[in-house]
Structure 1
């Protein structure tokens, strides 16, 4: 009885660590697109019906459109940043020239 009382926290800690490891592994497999394993080790793949395939095509097209829009927004932002930073530098040069003329 004393042996069980002494080992109970260790057993509980190992059990919780094993469950957390399993959850983390499953989450990483889902996140990275790997198939999940069934109860006997067989790979579980999502169902592939016509509706799912069509949905994937639509999402792929939308993803491409959003990526193109994001690329154009990045280009526009770079232009705005260039204009803002160049204008600030030119403005400080003009102020210094005016100070030099005043002196």
Structure 2
């Protein structure tokens, strides 16, 4: 099993990996001047189950779209390495989850 925590989720990923007793695997993320992104694993993921953590809430530094693009780029590269199972857990900020229950 390989666990990657993209930069926006590094703190959470470290805590999760510690609780599971596994290390966070190394990856590369780069932002280019023209707005393009690069994200890729720096360890072999061929034949491994891969979990990629990425918080998707927007911030002043990165928009939701930027974070989602990085996650999808990383997914595409991992799929190219013949990963049998690739999991992308969605990390939402609890304070921003909307309650849609109806009151009678």
Shorter chain as denominator, the TM-score bin is: under 0.3
Bigger-Rg structure (1/2): 1
More helix by share: 1
Asked which structure has the greater RCO (Cα within 8 Å, sep 6+), the reply is 2
Normalising by structure 2, report the TM-score.
Answer: 0.23
